[in-house]
Amino acid sequence: MNGPALQERPSASASWRIALPHTAAAVPVARALVRTALSEVKYTADSDTAELLTAELVANAVEHTAGDAPIELVVELLPTGCQVEVHDPDPVPPLSLTKPADEEPDPWQEHGRGLLLIRALSSSCGHRPTESGKAVWFRLPVVPPQWHPAG
């Protein structure tokens, strides 16, 4: 990183935006971008949680949208934490994101827990229509300094 030393928190928002391929290869790229963005400031949201939830959103976008149009990842660092959005071309909202499912996921199935994790681990989450489909997002708060190991 060129420039001044790491800040305590971003005083204004900083954002990253990247188009990702509509393939499973998008997931590790998205995780790496989130990790890099959050490493830019000393006290920010929990990187491990942000990476996990980002991977869930990107994997859902790849799996549940048709076609090969790129998926867009937007990471925004805010003084209060971070917001991550995944844009995809399908306008249909993820119905179980903002309201709990009627039944618990089957513990023997590989799928069905991603949106549950996002609801449980984020401070807020949701979706909104865009001109080309929808954006699904989550927010994480700043981790208090005492939670960070001394370095």
Q: Is the pLDDT of residue 2 over 70?
A: no
Structure pTM? 0.81
Cβ contacts of 33-42, under 8 Å, gap ≥ 24: 33/73, 33/75, 34/75, 34/84, 37/75, 37/77, 37/82, 38/77, 38/82, 40/1, 40/6, 40/14, 40/77, 41/6, 41/7, 41/8, 41/9, 41/10, 41/77, 42/6, 42/7, 42/8, 42/9, 42/148
Average pLDDT of the residues of the chain: 82
Confidence class of residue 12 from pLDDT cuts 50, 70 and 90? low
Confidence class of residue 103 from pLDDT cuts 50, 70 and 90? low
Q: Is the pLDDT of residue 88 over 50?
A: yes
Q: Is the pLDDT of residue 4 over 60?
A: no
